Amino acid sequence: MTTSRRASSGLFTLAAIVTSVAALYVAREILLPFALAVLLSFLLAPLADRLEARGVWRVPAVVTVVSIAVTCLGLLGWIVTSQLIELSGNMEKYRANIVAKVREISNQSSIFSGVTKTIEQIREEVVGPDAAGDEIAADNIPSGDAEQPLPSRGRSARPTASRLGEFQQTELPPVRVVALPPSPLSQVQAWLGPLVAPLTAAGMVVVLVLFMLLQREDQRNRLIRLFGVANIHATTEALTDVVERVSQYLRMQFLINAGYGLSAGLGLSIIGVPSAIMFGVLCFALRFLPYIGPWIAAAMPLAVSAAVSEGWTQPLIVIGMFIVLELIVNNVAEPLLYGSSIGVSGIGVIVAAIFWTWIWGPVGLVMAMPLTVCLVVMARYIPALRFVAILLGDQPSLTTEERIYQRMLAFDEEEVQELAAAHLADHNPTEFYDDVLLPALRLAERDRHAGFLTEEQEDAVQEAARDLISQLPTDGRYEDYREPGTRALCIPLRDEADKTAALMLQKLLGIHGVELRASAVGALTSELVESVESMEVDLVIVSVLPPLASRDSRLLCRKLRSRYPTLPIIVGYWDAQASPESRRLLSAKADGEIVTSLAEAVERSRAIASRKTKAVPAPHFREASTPTSVKVE
């Protein structure tokens, strides 16, 4: 039943995705203005909020912000159009430079001429020079010289060649073609026809932006209602995350691109490239296109510079200027202004650019990143779309402990060592044990109890973990602390995983003067209880790696407490993420102090050792009295 439900759920999700993609493609004429309006509202909403915070009413504030935005866009469009017309009119002056540079390039590119000559020689050898000459002669034969039979239609035969020649020699009166003047309506249609669709779309976008800004709280409430009041917490978090990420991304991208365009326009003007203002505006606009935008923005002024300049100095300066701008923007401005990540991985950016370009064309390429950010953030809160966040998000696909455990299962000890070294570059050994190695062992224990691991894999995991423990340095955070003479016994409760955790604790406590010995796995409870007295230990630590064996821990702790009422007992339940229910259950069944991390166990052991040292001198181990039935390592 469960398998069939999962299959039906997967099919439903797939059908929903296919339907959504088809709807995006078919209804692009309607959805594209709506998407543009949403993104513009994200960009303009903070400005409207600031005006309202200064006491301006909502309607005047929204109208003012939208009017300024539309005016700026119209002004930039007018500047680009006028300078483009001026540049196209002046290109006739630069024809000589263009022809000279093309000839120079063609003369210097001997390799291309050699390739062309080789291709022509191969064609002559394959086809033959006679065949090539025949093709040219056939092309030059006039069509009137060939005599072809003409079909007859009853008694009336078509003219023969001689009669046709006589007919052709007859002079015909010239035909005069008179063009009727176009009507005023047709002239208006010819002028406004290409502008109707863009103006209509722009008008729709402006109207939608006005209403979205005027009723933004109402739109938010409607979205919350759409996803359900029962999910109001998750929906609120999702909307907040989307608004913050997209608004920040659009604002920062606008500022970066505006600075880029201003710098490019100013630099081109200083260099002497014509229409520098137009190229600056185009650099600002084209940089919204991911990856290809900066290349297109640099190619156009470079081509114009090569056409208008006498030599190659100016084009080389233009290339150098754009390289410097890109280095500054990519390595300084973007990391400084973007701050936190937008939530999309590198491959996600490429996939998003391809997908939205296929769906909505060039405008979709401009909107690819904001739309993908919205999709990835929403996918984190919608279980059916979680795969989108995994595939396109910037979060690691596997955590460090999962990667280490996976490489242990693959018997790849070399990569295990590399992953451990990479984590230890920024963390100390105690944090590595608690945050990485113990969680990896918990994953192994979960799979072992579920019957997923073979005996060879179980041994490989424990062996790789112990190799890491033996090679890692001790944690030197408490090197100034020494409490000599303190002895402790660590009892692995059940299996080798508990013993591996005990070895971690043994290495961490060694630097603090606490001599920890770990008993063998599988020793009887009565033998362990007797060994505490014979070894004269000051502290007992029970090592338990989840899942918890409640019966064994309860029996051992009760016997230890019954036999040694004043002996400090620590139960190390190595799961820092344990639920409160697990902690309460463990506390109720254990007669010792509960710790859930190695760091906490070290702190408690230090505190117990300090109290013991101040109270009485520390006794020594009596090796001769150690029971032979209990193996101590």
What DSSP line would sit under 541-591, residue for residue?
Answer: EEEE-SSP-HHHHHHHHHHHHHH-TTS-EEEEE--TT--HHHHHHHHHH-S
Sign of the CA dihedral 608, 611, 613, 617? negative
Q: Strand, coil or helix: what is 164?
A: helix
pLDDT value, residue 68 = 92
Query: Cβ(593)–Cβ(607) under 8 Å?
Result: no
pLDDT value, residue 139 = 47
Question: What whole-number distance in Å separates Cα of residue 235 and Cα of residue 377?
Answer: 11
Nearest to 612 by CA among 565, 567, 570, 564: 567
- More confidently predicted of 426 and 224: 426
Environment class of residue 476 by beta-carbon count within 10 Å: exposed (0-12), middle (13-18) or buried (19+)?
Answer: exposed
Question: What whole-number distance in Å separates Cα of residue 369 and Cα of residue 354?
Answer: 11
Residue 259 makes CB contacts below 8 A (sequence gap 6+) with 329, 333
Question: CA neighbours within 13 Å on the CB side: how many for 611?
Answer: 9
pLDDT value, residue 152 = 47
Residue 281 makes CB contacts below 8 A (sequence gap 6+) with 76, 79, 80, 261, 265
Query: Cβ(281)–Cβ(83) under 8 Å?
Result: no
272, amino acid identity: G
Reported as a pLDDT band with limits 50, 70 and 90, residue 629 is very low
* Mean pLDDT, residues 308-327 taken together: 87
Question: What whole-number distance in Å separates Cα of residue 470 and Cα of residue 17?
Answer: 51
Reported as a pLDDT band with limits 50, 70 and 90, residue 104 is low
- More confidently predicted of 317 and 518: 317
Going from the C-alpha of 94 to that of each of 45, 74, 89, 265, the distances in angstroms are 47, 30, 10, 21
pLDDT value, residue 549 = 54
| 64: pLDDT strictly greater than 90 | yes
Residue 206 makes CB contacts below 8 A (sequence gap 6+) with 66, 70
pLDDT value, residue 582 = 60
How much is the pTM? 0.59
Reported as a pLDDT band with limits 50, 70 and 90, residue 626 is very low
pLDDT value, residue 618 = 42
Residue 535 makes CB contacts below 8 A (sequence gap 6+) with 487, 489, 517, 621, 622, 625, 626, 632
Reported as a pLDDT band with limits 50, 70 and 90, residue 233 is confident
- Mean pLDDT: which of 100-114, 146-160, 409-423, 501-515 is highest? 409-423
571, amino acid identity: V
* pLDDT tens by residue, 19-49: 888 888 888 888 888 888 888 888 888 889 8
Backbone dihedral angles phi then psi of residue 584, each to the nearest 5 degrees: -65, -40
- More confidently predicted of 220 and 260: 260
Question: What whole-number distance in Å separates Cα of residue 193 and Cα of residue 255?
Answer: 35
| 495: pLDDT strictly greater than 80 | yes
**Would you state the structure tokens that stand for residue 460, as one six-digit string?**
């490989």
| 596: pLDDT strictly greater than 70 | yes
Beta partners for 490? 518, 541
Q: For the chain, what is the mean pLDDT?
A: 76
* Mean pLDDT, residues 420-439 taken together: 90
246, amino acid identity: V
- Mean pLDDT: which of 91-105, 309-323, 579-593 is highest? 309-323
pLDDT value, residue 174 = 66
Question: What whole-number distance in Å separates Cα of residue 570 and Cα of residue 605?
Answer: 9
Angle of the 232-271 helix axis to the 368-379 helix axis, nearest 10: 160
**Would you state the structure tokens that stand for residue 513, as one six-digit string?**
């003067």
Question: What whole-number distance in Å separates Cα of residue 43 and Cα of residue 243?
Answer: 10
Question: CA neighbours within 13 Å on the CB side: how many for 468?
Answer: 33
For the chain, give the percent of residues with pLDDT over 70: 72
Reported as a pLDDT band with limits 50, 70 and 90, residue 365 is confident
Q: Strand, coil or helix: what is 489?
A: strand
- More confidently predicted of 175 and 377: 377
